[in-house]
Amino acid sequence: MNFHPELTAPPALKPGTLRLVPLGGLGEVGRNMHVLELDGRLLIIDCGVLFPEEHQPGVDLILPDLTYLEDRLEDIEAIVLTHGHEDHIGAVPYLLRKRQDIPLIGSQLTLAFIEAKLKEHRITPITLAVKEGGREQIGAFGLEFVAVNHSIPDALAVFVRTSAGTVLNTGDFKMDQLPLDGRITDLRAFARMGEEGVDLFMVDSTNAEVPGFTTAEAEIGPTLDGLFAQAKGRIVVASFASHVHRVQQVIDAAQAHRRKVAFVGRSMVRNMGIAAEMGYLNVPDGILVDPKQADKMPHDQVVYMSTGSQGEPMAALSRMATGDHKVEVGKDDLVIFASSLIPGNENAVYRVINLLMRIGATVVHQANARVHVSGHASAGELLYCYNILRPKNVMPIHGEVRHLLANGKLAMKTGIPEDNVVFAENGVVVDLKDGRARVVGAIEHHNVYVDGSSVGEITETELKDRRILSEEGFVSVFAVIDASNGKVVSGPEVHARGLAEDDSVFDGVLPQIKDALEDAAKGGSTDTHQLQQIMRRVLGRYVGTKLRRRPMIVPIVIEA
């Protein structure tokens, strides 16, 4: 779905107007990035990645399309990071490659996570640590930071004051009233900003379809405790590598049941080391062990805290499920998926679950036990926010189309006029002037794929070729023709890969290909490219009719 299929390029930005260009996070769960522009200067809120789905084979990450910023890098005042999840910070290294001295603004833990990531890219950033209640003037943008509760500590909403109006961006948030770290979403600050006036409220939409209120994190502890009490063998808990609260609950349950904890997965080891060092993770003395040491311990004394909760093929848990990891999961072992499913990852996750159960493990996940709660506000919490803030305009962010629409409908229920609810997708340009937010155009926007060391070199056409190769197979057809008379002097030969049938199945089409080549030569066609296309068409019709397949066909014609 495209909310605004009729849009053309936006007009030049008028003085005194605030422009908003989302480069990610709208129509998808991930890749969050919003560019604010005022009087020629830019402020970026978040810069995250999107993880690939099954129909994007070979892709490691999907980045925001930074083309819009290519010629304006010097206009960027700063990047504000709302929290330390990959879908909000993961693309920062790719933007800083283009200009390394763009300041990064965020909370202490968020900056620690991104600094560790940037170190791997050999980038030393300029950073400014901020806290809830803090204010900073960054060029034309006045920033105030608000504590919000999420599934990672130190998350912040940002209130942007400008001469053209005010914008409140929640980042990811919920309203857990019993948070593990005691840090609640600051609704008093929201109310104060509502009194001042919020011209545009950019609000997390992920759980807008979910009625009521998101379950408190504190309710997960008893479930984990009960599972740990019943477990007879090893326990493997899979979670996001940045979910500090969940790791804390696992450590607490392990301590209560006299088990040691081993972190598995490079990002898990790195992030939890940072969290523990900075005091966000309470680690009792002696409870952590190296995975090599854990491997030698009795099975009923070990907990592995692992990455791979989304079924990522190269993550630790997936490799355990396929027997390709030093941690061997077997009968009597318990595996807990302590995270929600990101849309698009369902098949990958269930594949890992089935593999684990096949080898005898007991698998517990969100569908059969309360081992995870969402980090996002449900419909009831969003309604509270709308009623507290009474914003003039609302722009749902962070979610698929269904989430954005559900969030917008909630806003309308609280009395916000339909015309003041802005539905947009990536690349749609919104201008704010005199308290009115309006869609004014759209910029060209594409997926940017990271594939190994290449960034942006893989196109949609090449991904289509990969899908065909993986689903339909590959067929090559080869022939040598006499350049003087067009006669076929060798071949044609057909070879297939990824098809169930033997190459002999193509015997019936070989005379057809030969006749088609020689007929074309008699008609004056001598260009090898034209002859190759003739072979492709003849073979393609034959394979489609006889085998009911549409493989990739590579024709080769050589003149002798």
Does residue 4 belong to any structural domain of this protein?
no
In a domain, 10, yes or no: no
Other CB atoms within 10 Å distance of the CB of residue 391: 26
Number of Cβ within 10 Å of residue 113's Cβ equals 27
Q: Are residues 247 and 207 in the same domain?
A: no
Residues 308 and 418 in one domain: no
Residues 57 and 190 in one domain: yes
Task: Answer with the one of 341, 364, 387 that is the final residue of a domain.
Answer: 364
The first and second tokens of residue 411, run together, are 């806003």
Q: Is residue 247 included in any domain, yes or no?
A: yes
Answer yes or no: is 195 within a domain.
yes
CA atoms within 13 A on the CB side of 527: 4
pLDDT number for residue 462: 64
In whole angstroms, what is the distance from residue 35 CA to residue 66 CA?
Answer: 11
Same domain, 194 and 273: no
- 33's enclosing H/E stretch is strand 33-38
The tally of domains found in the chain comes to 3
Distance CA 202, CA 224 (A): 35
- Using DSSP's 3-state secondary structure scheme, residue 299 falls into helix
Listed residues 455, 487, 513: the one ending a domain? 455
Residue 121 domain-assigned? yes
Cα gap 288→294, rounded to integer Å: 9
Residues 354 and 303 in one domain: yes
The CATH number linked to 79 is: 3.60.15.10
Per-residue pLDDT of the chain (560 residues; tens, 9 = 90+): 456 777 889 999 999 999 999 999 999 988 999 999 999 999 999 999 987 766 665 667 889 999 999 999 999 999 999 999 999 999 999 999 999 999 999 999 999 999 999 998 899 999 999 999 999 999 999 999 999 999 899 999 999 999 999 999 999 999 999 898 899 999 999 999 999 999 999 999 999 999 999 989 888 889 999 999 999 999 999 888 888 989 999 999 999 999 999 998 888 999 999 999 999 999 999 999 998 898 889 999 999 998 887 777 677 888 888 888 888 888 889 999 888 767 667 777 888 888 889 888 898 887 787 888 889 999 999 999 999 999 999 999 999 999 999 999 999 999 999 999 999 999 999 999 999 999 999 998 888 877 765 565 666 666 666 666 556 677 888 888 877 777 777 878 888 877 756 677 787 788 888 888 878 877 766 677 788 888 888 888 888 887 777 788 888 888 77
In a domain, 27, yes or no: yes
Range of the domain at 548: 473-559
Strand order in the sheet with 165-169: 135-138, 141-147, 156-162, 165-169, 200-204, 393-397
- Residue 461 resides in a domain: no
| pLDDT value of residue 265 | 85
The rounded distance, in Å, linking the Cα atoms of 374 and 367 is 13
Last residue within a domain, chosen from 343, 364, 385 = 364
- In this structure, are 120 and 191 located in the same domain? yes
Residue 430 in contact with residue 422, Cβ under 8 Å? yes
Say whether both 352 and 386 belong to one domain. Answer: no
Q: Please tell me whether residues 150 and 246 are part of one structural domain.
A: no
CATH number, residue 262: 3.40.50.10710
Cis peptide before 555 (omega within 30 of 0): no
Q: How far is CA 126 from CA 78, 91, 465, in A?
A: 10, 16, 41
* pLDDT for res 257: 95
What ranges make up the beta strands (E) of 95-153?
A: 104-106, 127-129, 135-138, 141-147
Alpha-carbon distance 137 to 371, whole Å? 42
Residue 215 DSSP one-character state: P
Q: Are residues 22 and 106 in the same domain?
A: yes
Same domain, 247 and 331: yes
Q: What confidence score (pLDDT) does residue 199 get?
A: 98
Q: In this structure, is residue 463 part of a structural domain?
A: no
Q: Which pLDDT value is given to residue 453?
A: 58
Do 429 and 482 lie in one domain? The reply is no
Query: How many Å apart are CA 382 and CA 536, to the nearest integer?
Result: 56
Give the CATH number of the domain where residue 491 resides. Answer: 3.10.20.580
Q: Do 419 and 491 fall within a single domain?
A: no
Give the end-to-end CA distance of the chain in Å, rounded to a whole number: 53
Confidence at residue 474, expressed as pLDDT on a 0 to 100 scale: 76
Contacts made by residues 270-277, CB under 8 angstroms, sequence distance 24+ = 270/116, 270/241, 271/113, 271/116, 271/241, 271/242, 271/244, 272/241, 272/244, 272/247, 272/305, 274/109, 274/112, 274/113, 274/116, 275/109, 275/153, 275/244, 275/247
